[in-house]
Structures are given as C-alpha cells and as structure tokens.
C-alpha cells in the first residue's frame, strides 16, 4: 500500500497539534477539579435537547490553481503544471454550500454538499497539451470544471467555562468524518479536439469547530475540515468563520443571517508516472447565508 508523502502529512499535522495543545491547556485549567482557569463544563441548557440546524451559504472570491491531466500517466500527454486556471480565463469563482447538523447534548452529526463549479473562456498564449490533445497558441478555448464534494461525520462538543461561573462561555467541537470528491474537467475548442476527464474519490477528514456567543442574538461560529493524508487520496481543506445574527425566534425555531469569510484548498496527485495533478486554492471568499435551527 502506498504511503502519504511528507508534504501531505505536514499539511495535516498543524491542525492536529493545535487541538492536542488546546485540550491539554483546558485540562490543566481544571477540567477535573476546582482549579482556576478555563475548564470544560456541562452543555448549555438549550443544547441538551435534540436539535437540527440547516444552513445555506453562498461563497464568492478569488480562485487559483492548476489542472494537469495526462492520458494513462504517459509522458508527453500533458504540459507540466498546466492548464492553470488563470490561462483558462478563471480568476474568480462561486460556491454554494448546503449543510445540516443534528444532535443532542454534546453529540453532533453533520452532513453537507459543496457545489463548486468553474467556467471560463480564453485565448491560449502558449501551446497546451492536455490529456493527449494539443491546443496551439492562439486557440480559443472554453473550460468547465466541477469540484463538488459531499461530507458526513460526527463531532463532540466541549463547552468551556472561562468566567468561573459554571456556565459555558464558548464551545469547541472536535471529531471526524469522510468527504467524497466529484471531479470533472472539460476543455473544448472549435473542432474535434476536446478534453474530458472525471473521477470520484473519497478522503477521511478531521472536523473542528468553535461557537462563541457574543450576546443573546450574535455569535461567531468557526468550522474547519482537514483531510487526513491516506495514500494518494485527495486532500480537501475548508475553513469558514462567520458572524451569526438571529433575525427571529419563535418557540424552538430560530432563523439567523450569516456573514463571514472562507478559505478552501483541494489537492490531488496520483501515483502514475506522469500524474494527474490538481491543485485549487479558493479564498479569501466572502460568505453570506441563512441558518435555521429547530
């Protein structure tokens, strides 16, 4: 079985080290006793009952990357590190994220789907080879790229008391799950020489989060997903921080507006002699959305 490269491992080590250090700090602060400092306490009363939260977010901002795509891993079937998104006329992109979280007490299950589609038109400045097809300099090309991914997993809530009154001042969440990446790349020109390549791959992920109430109606919410390097599976990293403002509350139902920022990265490199080499950076992207809890 192939092992993950040192570079792929290093991309995951930093988030894991931060979690271990933070939990050690909280434990030293008195999780098991009455020592002063931050400590883990019982969940807030509103989190004890079973709840479901549904989110819909729109993301927009700069994108960068490459879509190296050979044929069968054979030399001479792709230009190195090309095409780039920039030469395909793509420098901005949008995403739609649909998510749901459900749980009770400190237990939370999550799922969601990220719709990430890019399209562009451009005239090539240099000759490009992609999937064995040659596109001469000066050729007008159109491209469509699908980078969608689905996620599902579990997180455990850690309510933290900083003030010492026994009530949580904020919550940390940690867990894990799996993501499934749906990649599709199409490059076309006038005539028969078109490129089309697609595949669906999975990746295990660590899932982190934080929720910081700033009053009865305002909170800051952070969510992060970090792929764990396994062989030649893709790596998907996604981080979002939003301010959540409650618009209305009726009984057990709450509706919130969200505004914030996100950063995303997708990396995939297989083990062929000349590999498929996809690397996409998206961010900082503006995030706007709505969230309903019931």
Mean pLDDT of 124-152: 96
- The answer to whether residues 65 and 280 touch, using CB atoms and an 8 Å cutoff, is yes
pLDDT at 49: 78
Domains and CATH numbers, the chain: 6-293 (2.40.160.20)
Mean pLDDT of 89-110: 95
pLDDT at 121: 96
* Whether residue 20 has pLDDT greater than 60: no
Mean pLDDT of 102-112: 93
Q: Parallel, antiparallel, or unpaired: how do β-strands 140-161 and 39-40 relate?
A: antiparallel
- Cα dihedral 107/161/215/217 (nearest 10): 0
Q: Global pTM?
A: 0.85
Angle at 217 between CA 94 and CA 15, to 5 degrees: 55
pLDDT at 130: 96
Span between the terminal Cα atoms of the chain, in Å: 45
Average pLDDT, the chain: 88
Per-residue HEC secondary structure of 8-76 comes to HHHHHHHHHHHHHHHHHHHHHCCCCCCCCCCEECCCCHHHHCCEEEEEEEEEEEEEEEEEECCCCCCCC
Distance in angstroms (rounded) separating the CA atoms of residues 241 and 220: 7
Which strand (E) or helix (H) includes residue 7?
A: helix 6-28
pLDDT at 14: 53
* Per-residue model confidence as pLDDT tens digits over 274-283: 999 999 999 9
pLDDT at 1: 42
User: What tokens does 207 get?
Assistant: 């899932």
* Per-residue model confidence as pLDDT tens digits over 229-242: 988 899 999 999 99
- pLDDT level of residue 164 (50, 70, 90 thresholds): confident
pLDDT at 2: 44
Per-residue HEC secondary structure of 173-196 comes to EEEEEEEEEEEEEEEEECCCCCEE
3-class DSSP assignment, residue 142 = strand
Distance in angstroms (rounded) separating the CA atoms of residues 101 and 43: 16
- The answer to whether residues 201 and 234 touch, using CB atoms and an 8 Å cutoff, is yes
Which phi and psi angles does 164 have, rounded to 5°?
90, 10
């Amino acid at each position: 079985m192939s092992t993950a490269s040192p570079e792929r491992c290093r991309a995951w080590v930093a988030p894991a080290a931060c979690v271990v250090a933070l939990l050690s700090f909280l434990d030293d602060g008195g999780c098991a006793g009455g020592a002063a400092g931050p400590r883990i306490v019982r969940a807030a009363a509103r989190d004890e009952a079973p709840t479901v939260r549904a989110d819909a977010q729109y993301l927009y901002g700069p994108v960068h990357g490459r879509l190296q795509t050979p044929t069968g891993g054979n030399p001479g079937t792709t230009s190195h590190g090309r095409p780039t998104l920039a030469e395909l006329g793509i420098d901005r992109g949008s995403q739609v994220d649909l998510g749901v979280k459900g749980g009770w007490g400190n237990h939370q299950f999550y799922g969601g789907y990220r719709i990430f589609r890019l399209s562009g038109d451009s005239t090539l400045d240099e000759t490009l080879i992609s999937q064995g097809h040659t596109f001469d300099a000066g050729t007008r090309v159109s491209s469509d790229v699908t980078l969608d991914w689905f996620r599902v997993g579990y997180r455990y809530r850690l309510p933290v008391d900083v003030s010492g009154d026994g009530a949580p001042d904020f919550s940390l969440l940690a867990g894990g799950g799996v993501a499934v990446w749906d990649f599709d790349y199409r490059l076309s020109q006038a005539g028969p020489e078109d490129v089309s390549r697609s595949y669906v791959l999975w990746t295990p992920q660590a899932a982190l989060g934080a929720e910081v109430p700033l009053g009865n109606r305002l909170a800051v919410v952070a969510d992060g997903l970090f792929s764990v390097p396994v062989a030649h599976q893709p790596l998907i990293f996604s981080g979002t921080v939003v301010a959540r403002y409650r618009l209305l509350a009726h009984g057990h139902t709450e509706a919130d507006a969200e505004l914030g920022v996100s950063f995303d990265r997708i990396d995939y490199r297989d083990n062929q002699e000349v590999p498929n080499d996809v690397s996409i950076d998206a961010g900082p992207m503006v995030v706007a959305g709505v969230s309903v809890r019931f």
